[in-house]
Structure 1
Amino acid sequence: AGATGGRLSWRAAGDDDPQRMVREEVPTWCARRGFDSSRLAVWGWSMGGFGALLLAETYPKWLRMAAAFSPAVSPGDAVFTGVEKLRGTPVGLWCGRQDNFLSDVRALARALPEEPVRAAWADGRHNFGYWGTVIPDAFALIGAALSPPRT
């Protein structure tokens, strides 16, 4: 299922709360359609990557993983100030070496309370050309995080 933070950039404004929608409404919609909503992960690119990380911080340990491609983060923003809340949530970060966010994403990787499950920096810019190259790696990690425990 997908969602967008839209013009609010993942912040609540009045009755419009993108994080609440993802936390409360999306799992309900998915469950009504027969999907297992007991195991959840988030991923996003650019501002969506920021939103995925912010959601994981807002609801600590609710998600099995948060993955972000070139997240639009910078030191001092909400993701950096709440980074300790990511303890216990596996985080994967990908960013192209020619992306303007690279130094900030690397700083975020260093600021995480635990080592990221993946921190990958390959040639690429802040665009779908780059993000398309990292989707297989990210989805493999997300798939593993969502897999039921072996008995």
Structure 2
Amino acid sequence: MPAMSALLAVGVIDFSTYRGKQGAAMGDGRISRRTMLTAGATGLALTGGGLVSLLRSSGGGGASPGSYLSLRGIERVRSRARNRDVDLVTMLPRKEVPIGLPVCLVLHGLGGDAVGTHKYGFDARLVREVALGTTPPFALVAVDGGDNYWNQVRPGDDPMAMLLDELPVWLRERGLADRPFACAGVSMGGFGALYYARMRAERHQPLRATAVASPALITSWAVMRTRRIFPSREAWEALDPLRHPHAIGNSALGVWCGEDDPFVTGTRRFISMTQPKVAYIGPGGHTADFVEGVADDVVRFLGQHAT
């Protein structure tokens, strides 16, 4: 599929008017794909199988983030690594984009999915920044990873293999750059983003940037074991970013966390060990509202590394 007009295989939705429960913890209130598709397509038109409406701007630098509508396409694709169909969500910065557009991978949190990544606000901010010329264009792409910290928990379900081996093929087929230049993760997805960056570094395909917001950096095996993700303490420690703080190599790092977030202790420790390019601890808890509040900074940080 050489052109962006061939992006859509299943449906188009407009999330711009949707707001989840304000202040709800990340991962709460999952919305079904059927519900969002049913609620969605107003404001976005289809022509020749392609997406033709991208954004609504109130004009000028004073436009609010909510006045920008981003273009999102949802496709159902088969993942052999996960042994199931998954949603692949592509969020573009404007209607007309070049072939080989750089991609930032977005990883969802526990209880979330690719469709729900809209609540982080990254896509609306990206559209605005690109429209204003303050950030170079790049795409955001999300895919369903399950509730397993982007790690293989059960035989036949390996989300990291999906990201490393299958996602590049899906991106290339859609005319996008086949290797994401960056990864942004929220909550459990923050853990996953650091894990993905580590694996890319180990494959000698390092990310240019890694952004984590409210990362689920758990400091105690007693707490982690209750999540039933890792079979043993040793298995967890082998992947724990707090025990491998420099495993992402030279990838530029940005970290954002609320001071009332239950993961702030681990995040502060990680910041102390890594001295990231951007480090922010500010008012807020482990909520979608906090992430949306720092979305501008996250997008600008990613944009600095898009070219």
Are 1:74 and 2:221 counterparts? Answer: no
1:15 Cα deviation after fit? 2.3
Match of 1:37 in 2: 178
Runs (4+) of structure 1 exceeding 6 A deviation are none
For the residues of structure 1 that align with 2:305 and 2:175, how far apart are their CA atoms?
Answer: 20
Query: Residue 62 of structure 1 aligns to a residue in which SS?
Result: coil
Equivalent pairs, count: 145
Name structure 1 gaps, 5 residues minimum. Answer: none
Match of 2:20 in 1: none
Match of 1:49 in 2: 190
For the residues of structure 1 that align with 2:242 and 2:144, how far apart are their CA atoms?
Answer: 21
Could you list the per-position Cα deviations for residues 22-51 of structure 1 after superposition, in whole angstroms to 9, with x for gaps in the alignment? 112112211111112245211111101111
Are 1:11 and 2:151 counterparts? Answer: yes
1:90 Cα deviation after fit? 1.0
CA RMSD of aligned residues (A): 1.6
* Pair 1:42–1:116, CA change in 2 (3 A): same
For the residues of structure 2 that align with 1:31 and 1:143, how far apart are their CA atoms?
Answer: 21
TM-score w.r.t. the length of structure 2 is 0.45
Are 1:62 and 2:211 counterparts? Answer: no
Match of 1:142 in 2: 302
Equivalent residues of 1:91, 1:116 under 8 A apart: yes
1:80 Cα deviation after fit? 1.5
Name structure 2 gaps, 5 residues minimum. Answer: 1-140, 221-236
**1:2 aligns with one of 134, 137, 142:** 142
TM-score w.r.t. the length of structure 1 is 0.87
Equivalent residues of 2:206, 2:248 under 8 A apart: no
**2:262 aligns with one of 94, 100, 105:** 100
